Structure 1
């Protein structure tokens, strides 16, 4: 079965993304754009945290399900935690993905400072099969837009996500975000005239995303 059940298009599901993706047909989404936990036990200044950021048990099975539900010759863009690059890379490759690009999102501020100041976010472009090259490929360095993290401790800006969807998802295609947080990917999909499917484990952020999309 390769078609997508229309009942899950333009919905936000609450629960474990591995279990929910297992219930989806294989090869049913056109593009995946996601910001999973970085495996760094992150807490922001107000104490907010992210579910499953303290363990990597979910990483390999989630990558395997993402690969399964993605259509052949299609792309996935995933943010990742740079201190855990080896673990993310291993999970993606074990699932079957090929790395075909890397994107740096350049910030005008430092989110932290250790040996160096952290002034960027990063994402890998992952391929299943042999996707066609985009007509207008995005730059591999993109200026960040600060969200203030009002809705989520690692809230991503819609403005930097929309061009990725426009480049890598066919018109009207289905964009999946299995770690959708406050729903930025889903809003970007709507703005790009695509359908969306979001999955979020945390019930509070699921409600925020649902209200955001309803508005």
Structure 2
């Protein structure tokens, strides 16, 4: 990701809290600087172990010295439950759209190297950003492709799109 990111731009990366040290080390070795952290509180429990897990996290990473965005977002964004019908770790569009709008300029390209069900790609498309998605699992890739095609058909028809 670092190699592909333009100089003086930002990257948002979700991570598993139990692997924080590994993620931080990998990002720093790649050349990223951590410049922010986003918390996504959930109104439901996704897993129960010693605690009830009720949040997701992402780091805001910088390559170089990016300018402040025109519309900075808060570092806490409420998580809207999707039901994870399309993928076990499906991200809601309402969670992805604000960081994309803030950190990727109009006409910019959003890269999702773990595209899953295509949520990031649909969110990018919904606000006029280009996108590149990578998904290695064939069946999951097919889900994302169907989702993007359905979104494109709805836009062409002028339908109100209500994708989660």
- The normalised TM-score by structure 2 is 0.90
2:112 corresponds to 1:186: no
2:154 is aligned to none
1:87 is aligned to 22
> Which of 66, 71, 78 is the matching residue for 1:143?
78
Within 5 Å, which residues of 2 pair with 1:47-196?
66-196=1-131
Q: d(CA) in 2 for partners of 1:198 and 1:135?
A: 26
Give how far 1:112 is off: 1.7
Q: d(CA) in 1 for partners of 2:46 and 2:147?
A: 25
Give how far 1:137 is off: 1.1
- What are the Cα deviations for residues 15-58 of structure 1, in whole angstroms up to 9, with x where unaligned? xxxxxxxxxxxxxxxxxxxxxxxxxxxxxxxxxxxxxxxxxxxx
- The normalised TM-score by structure 1 is 0.69
Superposed structure 1 runs of 4+ greater than 3 Å apart = none
**TM-align CA RMSD:** 0.7
2:160 is aligned to none
Q: d(CA) in 2 for partners of 1:205 and 1:104?
A: 26
